Amino acid sequence: MLGKIKETISFLEETIPFKPEIGIILGTGLGGLVNEIAIHHEMDYEKIPNFPVSTVDGHHGRLIFGILGNKKVVAMQGRFHYYEGYNIQDVIFPVRILKFLGIKYLFLSNASGGVNPEFEIGDLMIITDHINLIPNPLIGKHYPEFGVRFPDMEQVYSKDLILKVKKIAQKKQINVKEGIYTATTGPTFETPAEYKYFRIIGSDTVGMSTVPETIVAHQMGLPCFAISIITDLGVPGKIETITHEAVQKVAAKAEEKMTVIMSELISML
Ligand code: HPA
């Protein structure tokens, strides 16, 4: 793992003379943030040694280096999901790389199914905590270079960043919810019984990403901020047939609000 990271970092540092301060994983709903970045360099994942290549519709695989809100950022256009068949170490490999490139914060977005009965389709939810039901990416050989063997998980999602976003949302009159995101492997959406189970165990939403990345980022000491778009409801009486396309459609509508939140947050740091 360390050897691979060193190889990838050497390649990127030699080819791209740019030291990012902030990492962004452009998940569902954040695609439009790219248009706000003054791009200095781009690199297809295929060209980066040891990088996995993404396979899902609507996700392109590129690292984008540029300026956003006066800050040097690196954005992952396209993330890796466990359901695609990657092993969990591959899913999180890019997060290790971003950290070793020098980022001080990690921002992420995703789409999820709301199981909190107060949620509506199209709502944005700040992730305040998570329940991980995907294999833990820290299973396996421990490298002290990444952090401790047994990371404390009391505050994965930075309270300070959450507070900043709540202020931004208030100022911009964007309605944001807060809650707990449960990560499950997918690729199936949930049965009604599974949605009910996720609610009972304490979830507000359920989705198929983000948590592997935040676990690894947190181990390496990176403050994380993650936000989810509620694209469908897993609430008894409100459950409807759902497709990937429907998820993308709802997410596209939330893109403008997501873009405002993220760019304002970055310019505040
Ligand atoms: N379940 C899991 N993942 C999702 C959902 C859902 O209902 N909606 C969007 N991603």
Best substitution site from 123, 124, 190 to test ligand 1's pocket, by max atoms within 8 Å of Cβ?
190
Q: Whose CA is nearest to atom 7 of ligand 1?
A: 113
Q: Can you give the CATH number for the domain in which 189 is found?
A: 3.40.50.1580
8-state DSSP, 157? B
Instruction: Report the nearest atom of ligand 1 relative to the CA of 184.
Output: 2
CA 139 → CA 87, 88, 174, 186, 215, distances in Å? 11, 9, 39, 20, 11
- Dihedral angle at the C-alpha atoms of 47, 25, 106, 205, nearest 10 degrees? -150
Distance 164 CA to ligand 1 centre (A): 27
Domain of residue 73, residue span = 2-268
DSSP SS3 for 207: strand
Answer yes or no: is the C-beta of 190 below 6 A from any ligand 1 atom: yes
- The reported pLDDT for the residue numbered 160 is 97
Determine the longest span between alpha carbons in the chain, in angstroms.
56
- The reported pLDDT for the residue numbered 28 is 84
Answer yes or no: is the C-beta of 233 below 6 A from any ligand 1 atom: no
- The reported pLDDT for the residue numbered 216 is 98
- Which segments of 111-180 does DSSP mark as H helices, in order? 159-171
Distance, CA of 175 to CA of 161 (rounded, Å): 17
Distance, CA of 83 to CA of 26 (rounded, Å): 18
Cβ atoms 33, 26 nearer than 8 A: yes
Give the strand pairing for 62-68 and 124-132: unpaired
Cβ neighbors of 171 (< 8 A, separation 6 or more) are: none
Cβ neighbors of 108 (< 8 A, separation 6 or more) are: 24, 25, 27, 210, 213, 214, 224, 225, 226, 227
- The reported pLDDT for the residue numbered 60 is 61
| Global pTM value | 0.95
Q: How many structural domains compose the chain?
A: 1
- The reported pLDDT for the residue numbered 128 is 98
Tens digit of pLDDT per residue, the chain (269 long)? 899 999 999 999 999 999 999 999 998 878 889 999 999 999 999 999 999 876 655 556 899 999 999 999 999 998 999 999 999 999 999 999 999 999 999 999 999 999 999 999 999 999 999 999 999 999 999 999 999 999 999 999 999 999 999 999 999 999 999 999 999 999 999 999 999 999 999 999 999 999 999 999 999 999 999 999 999 999 999 988 999 888 889 889 999 999 999 999 999 99
Instruction: Report the nearest atom of ligand 1 relative to the CA of 207.
Output: 3
Answer yes or no: is the C-beta of 234 below 6 A from any ligand 1 atom: yes
Residue 216's nearest CA partner among 48, 1, 9, 65 is 1
Distance, CA of 231 to CA of 52 (rounded, Å): 27
- The reported pLDDT for the residue numbered 82 is 95
Q: Whose CA is nearest to atom 6 of ligand 1?
A: 113
Q: Whose CA is nearest to atom 3 of ligand 1?
A: 207
Position of tokens 């949605």? 195
Distance, CA of 238 to CA of 183 (rounded, Å): 21
Distance 89 CA to ligand 1 centre (A): 23
Position of tokens 């599974």? 194
Distance 69 CA to ligand 1 centre (A): 31
Distance, CA of 77 to CA of 193 (rounded, Å): 34
Q: Whose CA is nearest to atom 9 of ligand 1?
A: 112
Distance, CA of 177 to CA of 184 (rounded, Å): 21
- Dihedral angle at the C-alpha atoms of 178, 183, 184, 188, nearest 10 degrees? 50
